A and B are shown apart, each in its own frame.
Chain A
């Protein structure tokens, strides 16, 4: 709070043109940016940009580790038979791959973007709770160190799927489950702290005149996401705690023998789990709603309807959880309720897609890398939405459930959805972050390589699922062999393509063509009024909102 309020009060000039300007004149101890050098700068930092950078780098590291596990999975599935890993290790790979991608790659990337962009977008000098901000980041590497170390324990790491259904995760799980539970707790605390910071920042630190309905959509979607996080992360914490006590302390929440019910586990998990999938997509909607207008040189078609659509998706996301559980033997009435609600949720999702297309319509389009990723996002996320709609039809879901069709669905929404939007955001804001333009040619190569390989990777999974291949199996019947080979080839190609991204980012951080304050002709928003790279402290005096 210190940094924020004192800096805000200490300046009377408005507007900053250069970063040198920023370091020159300071009256308050807390307001200077004479940061410690070397590693201590990063460990002690309370600066929203440093913390944002930490989150983003950490997320990319996790993306690579989780990706390496995916490569192991795809290598094993390249041919029928068991070639390189044994089934128990295979299960550990699918489990930890899922956990790392969800909690280590996608969620921290969004928090990183929130840290970097929200203060700049709403005209605030920093996040509202900078010290807490430091903690919410630094406990995260510890959580993942614990999770990854459990793989080396006797008996192996978690092997019960990222959804850790009981009693596979209780009575029948390896002893390292205790570490898994602890790691999830820490990740949850990190998310909750991050979310509280976002909420407090947005509610209290908007510049004068920045009314709610003037906030950029990225800020809106993150505000709603943060409320979702605060609502459901404690539910996840409760779930893992019950797993812990069932396994180690003799309770029977999920064991029929003691009066519990394994299906109860699934209800509680998915009450967290479904809002969680929206936590992983709402910020993407915000990103795409910033990029599409910029490169269409045209205002977003329906700003307010986008806000309302996001809010309705968030509310509805609490009423659909059991669509993951249609085969558990629910009463028909419940199945009907969850089928209708799930179908309903695709209406506001559709509204968003229509809005983006209407924004592009009769615009003046150019296709820089962020725009390419944003367009690919719209198309491929929509394909994921279509398969979601198919999965919502309960009788059909009996056939699709727990097959590769579901795997295809959630990778379309998460990889070509969430991850593509994160890539788009990185390219879009890299000039602002580093002060340099990224290499556009390499960026385009990264895009096309990713686009082609990701579809070779995930599209055939639809066919595999429809033809009857179950998910989470280390080996398969011969009729699935050729598609699996194709999928694996796509997987390796997609994995390698991401190294291009690493090169682009490192090159851009090191130097390159100097970026102007506003490198994109059609861009709007307060972040573009600041110089590039953005000064260490954002708006030290509140900007004027038109």
Chain B
């Protein structure tokens, strides 16, 4: 027992000295992060940890002294003392004073953390099962950010040789990162579409719940460019462990370049959407695109084979909707089903993707309706 404590204490101390040297997040200790706030939080963490270690050494020390020296087998005879108001007062007051000393810095850090006024940039963050959406408030554009780690790695498929082994950023990699500049006070408005999620990036010491129907605020001011990773911290259903957060932090000038690119892309995407409206989709084209979309957006619930999970998520294979009226089918994919896990995908997909995925669902797994949904069909249904 004695040894355990010593080993425990030693490994804590060891890890502290290690953390001081290396910049990468420590394996044993809290990160110091890359913001003033995260540094302050780290300092609070270390102070309270040291206080606990010191109290622990005193209390356990006294106890082990007793255990070693006041044994009956060594002939110890029990003393008779008990009850002392003086002693009781002393060991009530001393911890009390220590705690007040601790509360003072904690209070000032907390008040600072909660003051998100005078911000330079506002980002709206929306969690939904199981992805994040980032909206650049000041520029009126946004995008979803999804896990890119392939299912084959997660499921440990080893038989196929063309699967890469789990990489360094296994489960912490996304298709589109949130991009932020250094040195600016960035305000986050955090909310959710379905259940509660929690947006957490340890390097910024920001963890804020995303509550459906309500907006929470948090802020950060990042000192160093780099890539910072975090995860959803509140249990949000089946794939809670699979909705990472990746933030790429750039120098101001690089950020400006990135921003320009984004705005151009938004403009050209708009044009492409208009063109798509005029063009006709073939079956083959629709099935390829549709499968892609299905695997990233739909398969988590309805499963790769379209069989769903009985009682939780309905099957699409042979389902009344996938084989029935096309407009109804488009409607449920585009607008979701209220009060259920079925989201409104019109906000998340382009009209072309929507059309393709509906085609895919109507023709995959033996659902051989032969229907090819066109972008125009989708637009008509959405407008309703």
| A interface, CB within 8 angstroms of B | 80-83, 87-88, 91, 153-156, 159-161, 165, 167-168, 171-172, 174-175, 255-257, 261-263, 296-305, 327-329, 332, 335-336, 339-340, 343-344, 346-347, 350-351, 353-354, 357-367, 375-376, 378-379, 382-383, 386, 389-390, 393-396, 398-399, 401-403, 451-452, 455, 459, 463, 466-468, 470-479, 483, 522
Contact = CB atoms under 8 A, between A and B. Distances in A.
Contacts of B171: 80, 475-477
8 contacts: A160-B235, A256-B213, A302-B88, A332-B111, A354-B59, A383-B56, A398-B207, A522-B78
B180 to A, nearest CB: 19
A396 B44 contact: yes
B72 A298 contact: no
B206 A362 contact: no
Given A343-B99, A401-B233, 7 more contacts: A91-B235, A298-B82, A301-B81, A336-B107, A360-B63, A365-B71, A378-B63
Contacts of A386: 52, 55-56
A335 B106 CA distance: 11
A358 B70 CA distance: 12
B48 interface: yes
Interface string B44-60: 11001100100110011
B208 A393 contact: no
Interface of B: 1, 4-5, 8, 15, 25-31, 37, 40-41, 44-45, 48-49, 52, 55-56, 59-60, 62-63, 66-67, 70-73, 76-84, 87-88, 91-92, 95-96, 99, 102-103, 106-107, 109-111, 113-114, 129, 153-156, 166, 168-172, 194-196, 198, 200, 202, 205-209, 211-214, 216-217, 230-242, 309-312, 339-341
Contact of B66 (A299, A360, A402): A360
Contacts of B91: 350-351, 354
A478 B166 contact: yes
Given A172-B341, A256-B214, A398-B205, A303 B169 contact: no
Contacts, number: 304
A165 B196 contact: yes
Nearest to A361: B66
A185 B113 CA distance: 40
B32 to A, nearest CB: 11
Contacts of A328: 209, 211, 216
B207 A401 contact: yes
B241 A475 contact: yes
A261 B214 contact: yes
Contacts of A476: 171, 241
Nearest to B167: A478
Contacts of A383: 56
Nearest to A295: B72
Contact of A357 (B4, B59, B156): B59
Contact of B110 (A155, A332, A378): A332
Contact of A262 (B52, B153, B196, B207): B196
Contacts of B87: 302, 358
